[in-house]
């Protein structure tokens, strides 16, 4: 019997396999990281966040902003390059600002991209992939029992949880681990729409990167 592969939402009503999303993320990774224009990068980050929202993921916009501001502030502490202003007597330098913005956008952008392209239902191939799958299988079993963890008796309740997970899953097992789990992924309708959207995304990002190579820093950066 052929097991139906679990699918993950890409945009509302359009699904793709976790493997396709993983490959898409791997292909989007280089053009984003190599992008030297801060404004283009910021636009891409908003795009990745929009994709996360469309695929049903919670977007922590405020957390991203706090992280980005924190990174820029730390980089501004070491002045380099032309002094742009001196707020509160401290020099705000162009080099430090650009460096901070590039690092902040790299940090937040890669996180947003990663959250879009890596789904918990992803299963890696091979024997090691089987071990990871087994571990995720146990993780789901633990998560199903997590409400039993009691703050008043953390050690005792975690111990009870592990014993009950062991009973529920037949641990320790010498059988082959499961290769996938349907509980963490949507059973969407397979089709070409999902892969087509992902191909368009990858092509668009590489196209934008090629454009900024030909027309370096059309906005600001580097």
186 alpha-carbon distance from chain centroid = 18
Interacting residues with another protein between 77 and 96 (CB under 8 A): 77-78
* Residues in 142-181 at the binding interface with another protein, rule: CB under 8 A: 142-143, 146, 154-156, 158-159, 162-163, 165-166, 171-174, 177
Stretch that binds another protein, among 4-12, 34-42, 66-74, 200-208 (CB under 8 A): 66-74
Q: How far is the CB of 8 from another protein (least distance, A)?
A: 11
Q: What distance in Å separates the CA atoms of residue 88 and residue 85, rounded to the nearest whole number?
A: 10
- Kindly write down the DSSP assignment for every residue of 26-40, as one continuous string: HHHHHHHHH--BHHH
Cα 188 to Cα 186: distance, rounded to the nearest angstrom? 5
Segment near another protein (CB under 8 A), from 6-14, 114-122, 190-198, 207-215? 114-122
For 120, the token pair is 């918990």
Pair 220, 39: CB distance under 8 Å: yes
Can you say how many angstroms the Cα of residue 24 is from the centroid of all Cα atoms in its chain? 12
Q: Which is nearer to another protein, 54 or 158 (CB)?
A: 158
Residue with tokens 């290769």: 179
Phi, psi of 79, deg, nearest 5: -70, 135
Contact with another protein (CB under 8 A) among 54, 139, 180, 199: 139
Residues 18-47 that bind another protein (CB under 8 A): 25-26, 29
Give contact residues for another protein (rule: CB under 8 A): 25-26, 29, 57, 66-67, 70-71, 74-75, 77-78, 99, 103, 106-107, 110-111, 113-120, 122, 131-132, 134-139, 141-143, 146, 154-156, 158-159, 162-163, 165-166, 171-174, 177
């Amino acid at each position: 019997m052929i097991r139906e592969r679990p699918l993950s939402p890409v945009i509302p009503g359009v699904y793709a396999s976790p493997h396709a999303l993983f490959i898409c993320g791997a292909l989007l990774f280089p053009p984003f990281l190599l992008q030297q224009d801060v404004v283009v990068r910021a636009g891409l980050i908003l795009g990745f966040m929009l994709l996360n929202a469309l695929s049903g993921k919670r977007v922590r916009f405020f957390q991203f902003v706090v992280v980005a501001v924190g990174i820029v502030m730390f980089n501004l502490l070491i002045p380099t390059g032309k002094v742009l202003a001196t707020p509160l007597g401290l020099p705000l330098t162009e080099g430090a600002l650009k460096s901070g913005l590039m690092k902040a956008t790299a940090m937040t952008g890669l996180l947003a991209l990663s959250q879009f392209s890596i789904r918990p239902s992803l299963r890696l191939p091979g024997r090691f992939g089987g071990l990871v799958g087994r571990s995720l299988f146990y993780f789901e079993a633990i998560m199903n029992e997590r409400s039993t963890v009691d703050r008043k008796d953390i050690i005792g309740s975690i111990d009870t949880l592990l014993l009950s997970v062991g009973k529920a899953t037949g641990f320790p097992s010498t059988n082959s681990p499961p290769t996938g789990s349907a509980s963490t992924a949507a059973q969407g309708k397979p089709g070409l729409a999902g892969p087509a959207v992902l191909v368009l995304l990858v092509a668009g990002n590489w196209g934008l990167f090629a454009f900024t190579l030909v027309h370096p820093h059309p906005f600001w950066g580097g």
